[in-house]
Structure 1
């Protein structure tokens, strides 16, 4: 799951059980962040804007269901791009995708009573929501387990094209944003859920993750330093 050297520094190489617990907690926190961002009402991430828009197009299906459908479609695209390099174990990515979809619907239900009128309150909620979303991603990176189909698709394009991973991810997010806006114009009278918060999400989540990496490194260094001092002062 680590895409860069700095991500490799936080990877947990401990027990598989602990890593799975970390991964599932990360998914839950991430979906809570998504839910609160939706409740803020001033724009959400490209992926969330597409699946949220679809809940207005065909209301019987939940956003979690649409999210799972999107992940399933991304797995199909991964197969089409990877071809011979595609492995049956890639279907395991649907397990965390299902957990994410379930947690998303649960958290949307738990946060449905949150309604703010003042813009400052909405803005503050979105800032907090993006912090949660980023922390969930950080925990999932640390667990270093199964990639979600969307991330798997981006990684496959990265290996096939040789382009920079960040450029591919940005292009992918922009594509989802364009699709969301197009559906909004065609069926809903205009784009929905695409506002200033959408662009805030693109900036804040990345900065929050950088902050978590920095804090993790500082805490890890402080603990190691304290441990060395303890050994130096231990009586023999």
Structure 2
């Protein structure tokens, strides 16, 4: 059982890194980043704190909100989302460094990078789903809101992502009088990532067999 858990943790960490690399690629493409990352990205452009730092702060708040929403139903192990967020935030800053020297010119190449980022983010999410240990804080908060309001998860997710994008737009206009981090690529990510996850998950059945062998 310990070997299975260790394997799941390894898959989860790999998924986090691939997700962070996809998000870094989306910012480098210059067509806007993913809905869940657009707020910390905008803030990182206006303050002397890194993208990863704002990602950690925002997602940690999500965990706190989840706790207050669920109260007695909040399971203690869910606090482990915070170290998970920390690892993801470190990976985010590392990935930003890795893509820093990339030069992307031309709208077509921007879209190529944008679509590649969607694939990377979706693949990372698929690995997290297969690891089946912890949800990312944003999705865990959506689940909590869904449980409390009795509204279907998918509808809450759309509303949550839309709120993140609108917040990023508002913050961007207040700070820069311009759109930063939110463009057509943000819309593409909102539409495509979920569809690509649905493509990947059934095709990662090999991981289930690996987990079973470890057990």
1:4 corresponds to which residue?
none
Shift of 1:96: 0.9
Helix, strand or coil: the match of 2:173?
helix
Tell me the number of residue pairs that the alignment of Structure 1 and Structure 2 aligns. 206
CA RMSD of aligned residues (A): 1.7
1:75 corresponds to which residue?
63
> How do residues 1-236 of structure 1 correspond to structure 2 at under 5 angstroms?
15-58=4-47, 60-216=48-204
TM-score by length of 2: 0.90
CA distance in 1, matches of 2:5, 2:68: 31
Shift of 1:90: 2.1
Shift of 1:151: 1.9
Shift of 1:88: 3.0
CA distance in 2, matches of 1:116, 1:56: 19
Instruction: Structure 2: give runs of 5+ residues left out of the alignment.
Output: 210-215
Instruction: Select the structure of larger CA radius of gyration.
Output: 1
Encode CA deviations 1:31-71: one digit per residue, 9 max, x unaligned. Answer: 0010111111111112211111001221x210000000001
CA distance in 2, matches of 1:96, 1:114: 28
CA distance in 2, matches of 1:168, 1:201: 17
> Of Structure 1 and Structure 2, which has the larger fraction of its residues in helix?
2
CA distance in 1, matches of 2:135, 2:19: 15
Encode CA deviations 1:167-214: one digit per residue, 9 max, x unaligned. Answer: 101101111111111111112112211111011111221121121134
